[in-house]
Homo-oligomer: A and B are copies of this chain.
């Protein structure tokens, strides 16, 4: 049994910090990163009673492991909508994170005629709706524009520049990559038709397919407990994505209220946790 620290990387931008260390991917340069208060990761580790010298010893030899199993709340609404407490996770979605910048010409909101405008925001708005339409039309794809900044961003000036973020996820890398290419082409076409320009920079994180063999045993454990077996992908990242690179990994999702996560309203029921424990015991027995 393992509990991994700081999967989110909230303090040092080091996501999956615990599981990366366990899997042997700790990078020494992270030790010099500083939190918002100026404290380095090295200092924080010492203040917590830990030691840099101990990091190497955290690494596990893959040959000593029979697999990795993680129980997590779904962070989505699918189990709740199917009225089921548990589900077998098939994969962890890959992710494209892009920054898209439309540049037009700032101008006086009262004097520049509509026909002469090169408005970066209306171009961005057209593209945002394209992003939504493509994701709605592509099974399993989720696409989100979550961040946006306008320059100059004041009420009486036509926006000259709009920078926005795109978060694109799918269980299959090919679907996600194709969608990214389509959206980039759409951005170019919208910019061209509106006399503005667009820049695009993106980072890609591949999807992880969980172990077919372990997932089969997990499904058998659910069936043995008398519950229907449902399989679903994970849109969020998990420590299992890191562990899957050194050993076979499986995950069990537990229903959460309203699909709400990363929020004080996040909750699961005691009954659903009991069901997860019941299935986990059966799963471990099947492995024995």
Contacts and interface: CB of A to CB of B under 8 A. Distances in A.
Contacts of A143: 114
A129 to B, nearest CB: 5
A62 interface: no
Interface string A103-124: 0001111111111100101101
- Bin chain A's interface residue count: 35 or more
A6 B278 CA distance: 75
Contact of A112 (B114, B153, B259): B259
Contact of A155 (B129, B136, B146): B146
Interface in A68-111: 74-78, 93, 95, 97, 106-111
A167 B155 contact: yes
Nearest to A138: B114
A77 B112 contact: yes
A236 B155 contact: no
Stoichiometry (number of copies)? 2
Contacts of A106: 263
A178 interface: no
A269 interface: no
A263 B111 CA distance: 13
Given A125-B129, A167-B155, A167-B156, A110 B237 contact: yes
> Which 7 A-B residue pairings sit nearest by Cβ, starting from the closest?
A110-B235, A76-B111, A155-B165, A109-B144, A125-B125, A125-B128, A111-B235
